[in-house]
Structure 1
Amino acid sequence: MVLSGALCFRMKDSALKVLYLHDNQLLAGGLHAGKVIKGEEISVVPNRWLDARLSPVILGVQGGSQCLSCGTGQEPTLTLQPVNIMELYLGAKESKSFTFYRRDRGLTSSFESATYPGWFLCTAPEADQPVSLTQLPENAGWDAPITDFYFQQCD
C-alpha cells in the first residue's frame, strides 16, 4: 500500500515536554511566554527502502515541508532540512540520513538513527532546549538526556 499523504503525530518526551518549532529549530518544553504549548504536528511516513521489521520512519515538521536529518558527516548532527517528506517517501533513494528506527517500549518509543546506529533522538532534562541526538550511557543519571517519547496520532 502506498500512502497518499503523511500521517500526523504529536510527540512528548517521557518528562511530558512537547516538541515545538521556534526560530526554525525543534525544541522541547511546556510553557512559552506563560502560555501552554500544544506542540508541533509531526509528519510521519515509513521508509519503504529499509527493512520494515525495524520500523523505519521519516519525521517532518511544518506539514512535512522540513524533515529531521542526522547528516552524513563523521559525527551525527540533527538538523531540519527543507525537503518534502512525500518526496523522500516516494523517491528511489533509501534516504537513510532522514530515517529513524522506531522502537516501542510499552507506552513510549525511542528513535534510533538509521545512519548512526546507537544514536537516538533526545531532549535535555531542562525545558526549551533543542531536540538532539545522544548515545545511551551505561549508567544514566537524573541529568541524562531523555530518549523515550510518547508518540500519539493527531486527533
Structure 2
Amino acid sequence: MAVPGPSLFTLRDTSQKVICCHHNRLLAPPRLPVPPPEKTSVVPNQFMDPSHFPIVMGIDGGLCCLSCSTSAQPTLMLEDKKIMDLYQNSWEAERFTFTCSASSSTLRFELVAFPGWYLSTSPRNDQPLWVTYHLGEAEITNFYFKKV
C-alpha cells in the first residue's frame, strides 16, 4: 500500500529526554526547559519484510534523514535526502532503515545495515543521539514514539 507522505512522531528516551535538532545534530536535552521536540517524519521501507517493521526516519519535514555510515563501524548521521525519495528507491534505502522492536511500552530501533546496533542516547543530558551495540548497559536504547 503506497503512502502519500510521511507520518509524524515525537521521540523521547526512557529518562524523558526529548530528541531535538540543534546545528544539524540530533541531541537529547532534558524535557524541561527545552525547545519543542523534533517532529520525526516516518515512512515504511516498502521493500523489506513488513513483519520486522522497517522504517525510514527524517526531520525537517522529511528533507533530512537519519542514516548510518558505510564504514566498518556505524556512525549515525543526518543526510540531506528526501524521505519520499528513499521510500521509492530500494537500492538506496537500506542504510537509512531501522527495524522497530517493542519492549513493553517502548521501542528499540535497530540499524538494518548493521544488525545488533541500536539508536541510543547517553544517560547525560544534551548529548547527541548515536548508535550502540551495548543493550542494557549505560546507553539508553528504549524510546517512546508518539504520533503527532
TM-score range, shorter chain: over 0.9
Of the two, which has the highest radius of gyration? 1
1:152 equivalenced with 2:140 (yes/no): no
Deviation at 1:93, TM superposition (A): 2.2
Aligned to 1:126: 124
- Aligned partner of residue 63 in structure 1, secondary structure: helix
Number of residues of Structure 1 aligned to a counterpart in Structure 2: 148
Q: 2:79 aligns with which of 78, 81, 87?
A: 81
Percent of paired sites with the same residue: 40
Q: Is the 8 A contact 1:9 1:43 kept in 2?
A: yes
The verdict on how the C-alpha distance between 1:101 and 1:92 changes in structure 2, with shifts beyond 3 A counting, is closer
Q: 1:98 aligns with which of 93, 96, 101?
A: 96
- Aligned partner of residue 95 in structure 1, secondary structure: helix
Q: 2:134 aligns with which of 108, 133, 136?
A: 136
Correspondence list, 1:25-44, <5 A:
25-30=25-30, 35-44=33-42
Q: Is the 8 A contact 1:123 1:146 kept in 2?
A: yes
Q: Show structure 1 runs of 4+ deviating over 3 A.
A: none
Deviation at 1:73, TM superposition (A): 1.1
Q: Please list every run of 5 or more consecutive structure 2 residues that lacks an aligned counterpart in the other structure.
A: none
Deviation at 1:104, TM superposition (A): 1.1
Q: Provide the TM-score with structure 1 as the length reference.
A: 0.91
1:107 equivalenced with 2:105 (yes/no): yes
Q: Provide the TM-score with structure 2 as the length reference.
A: 0.95
Aligned to 1:68: 66
Q: Is the 8 A contact 1:70 1:76 kept in 2?
A: yes
Amino acid at match of 1:23: H
